[in-house]
Amino acid sequence: MSFDADHKSVDVECVEERADQTMEQQKEEKALVRKIDLYLLPTIWIMYLLSYMDRTNIGNAKVAGMTDDLGMDSNQPTIMFLWGIATMCMALVKTYHQLVALRTVVGILEAGFSPGVLLILSSWYKRNEQSKRFALYIGAAVLSGAFGGIIAGAITGNLEGAHGLRGWKWLFLVEGAATVGWAIISVFILPDFPANTKRLTDRERELAISRLEADNVHGHTGDSARLTPFQALKASVSNWRTWILVAGYMVIVGSSTLSYFYPTLVQGLGYSSHMAQYMVVPIYAVAFVCVGITGYFSDKFPQNRGLIISCWLILSMICAIVICVVYNFTARYVLLVFMAAGLWSTNGCSLSYAASTFGSMEQETRAVSLALVNALGNLAQIYGAYLFPKVQAPKYITGFGVIAGMCAFGVIVYAVAHVLLRKFEK
């Protein structure tokens, strides 16, 4: 009896010790995640907020008189890519051709920004941690739209004619200067990858790597072999997962080009130029809340991200169809609010869906796959820029009709992705 009692006592002590170790490891991991969040999320959030504000302010500049000053028609703000420090140079353009040339150069220079952010986020967080972080990332774009409307209204209204410059030129100068300043600051804040960052201690780096490995997210240690660019590209393009998620993201981005026309669409409801800037704010405010809710529940139910995306696309599709047949301006505005919320919510969720799906790939392959999703997806912005020609104002039947069709196709793509990924990932 004494031996048995002693043996049971030892077993209990071992269990308690393991429980204590587990609790200590959980506390240590939570502290690490908080530290990673502190370095990564605010910096990336502000970077994306400013860059997206730079990208979408051409819509605000349009309703503030840029198209008239440059002699442009409604088909010529057509290139919708990021630009950074050259944003201020937009104030110097005299013709449409100068605008296109400058935006093309800056788009090439900043082409790696979004794929780089996606790779960093997917390299630091476990799969069931990513949706909330991607939601925060996309939330910056949503808020930039709201802030962009407020700031654009204030700048174009209060600085019109100051020092001989039109208000839309001041818009590019002010927002471009803010982007330049934060780009310099972020160099000293952002960490690299878990294996080589200097922002963490040796123990923290070890924990960062081990927790991702336990979640089957591949990264690099200091001595691990690396794939060549050609090997990574070959592995990426030969994987069906890459292409189904590319197709899905193209649908979402193509539909989301609607955001560049918010000021124009709202102005078509009868508001003045400056008031149209402010009336886009409720659209982004509702979208911001929906993006946050979607990110939270996507991490709670990570295996159902495909269905979550499909449901939002169904909502946006229905709104787009109804807008085509309802011409009451108030009703169309309300439908536009819900339609935008659905599209923005799918954006962040689709990126986290891709990042978690590619998590088991080698880091180089994952980088190429994320870049392909982002790059090919954003090609949709080219044709998306032609969906709302001025001659179809204020109904814009073609634009909303095409978006309804794209949303319908997206529902099918993500429903199929949900079935196939659950089948082959088991």
Q: What is the pLDDT of residue 252?
A: 92
- Tell me, what's the pLDDT at 171? 74
Kindly report, residue by residue over 166-216, the tens digit of the pLDDT. Answer: 666 677 777 777 777 777 787 778 777 787 778 888 888 888 888 888 776
In a domain, 28, yes or no: no
In a domain, 400, yes or no: yes
Does 16 fall in a domain? Answer: no
pLDDT at position 108: 62
Number of domains in the chain: 1
Task: Find the mean pLDDT for residues 289-311.
Answer: 92
State pTM to two decimals.
0.75
pLDDT at 19: 53
What gap in Å lies between CA 327 and CA 223, rounded to an integer? 63
Query: Has residue 31 been placed in a domain?
Result: no
State yes or no: pLDDT of 234 exceeds 90: yes
- Residue closest to 218 by CA, chosen among 365, 117, 353, 354: 365
Q: How confident is the model at residue 346 (pLDDT cuts 50, 70, 90)?
A: very high
Q: Is residue 381 part of a domain?
A: yes
Predicted confidence (pLDDT) at residue 258 exceeds the cutoff of 70: yes
- Domain for residue 98, yes or no? yes
Q: What is the CATH number of the domain that holds 286?
A: 1.20.1250.20
Report residue 89's pLDDT band, with 50, 70 and 90 as the boundaries.
Answer: low
- Mean pLDDT, the chain, whole residue set: 77
Residue 4 within a domain: no
Asked, for residue 295, whether it belongs to a domain, the answer is: yes
CB 295 within 8 A of CB 347: no
- Its domain, for residue 144, covers 38-190+198-218+228-424
Reply yes or no on whether the pLDDT at 251 is more than 80: yes
Banded model confidence at residue 295, pLDDT cuts 50, 70, 90: very high
Q: Residue 20 — pLDDT band, cuts 50, 70, 90?
A: low
Question: Hunting for tokens 């169309």 — which residue is that?
Answer: 332
pLDDT score, position 307: 95
Q: Which of 405, 264, 394, 254 is nearest to 326 (CA)?
A: 394
The predicted-structure confidence for 27-70, as pLDDT tens digits, reads as follows: 888 888 898 888 888 888 887 777 766 555 455 444 444 444 43
